[in-house]
Amino acid sequence: MRPRPCRSPRCTGASARRWPCGLWTDARTRQTRKIQVATVFQGDVVNLTATFKTLASGLNHVDFGEVMVSAKQLSLQVQNFNYNKNN
């Protein structure tokens, strides 16, 4: 699993060092495995990380997500435990 470079205009030069972002994919299946984004909301730096899991059916979904706002000492975590498809 290797990160692919972000192609956003914001992710070039000095901006890339200040606002890191990334997209990790499985080279064999080409499915997303992880994303990482940094941005600003109301003047505070916000970091988002999400990891993905693939079901036997091939459906790719967010397994774990976390949003952190360090300036406010705030962290939100979401975990999809034992994901089941509705019948």
CA angle, 22 then 26 then 30, to 5°: 95
At 15, list the tokens. Answer: 């901006």
Q: Which band of pLDDT confidence, cut at 50, 70 and 90, is reported for residue 6?
A: low
Q: What's the pLDDT at 16?
A: 47
At 57, list the tokens. Answer: 């059916």
Q: What is the pTM of this model?
A: 0.70
pLDDT above 50 for 2: no
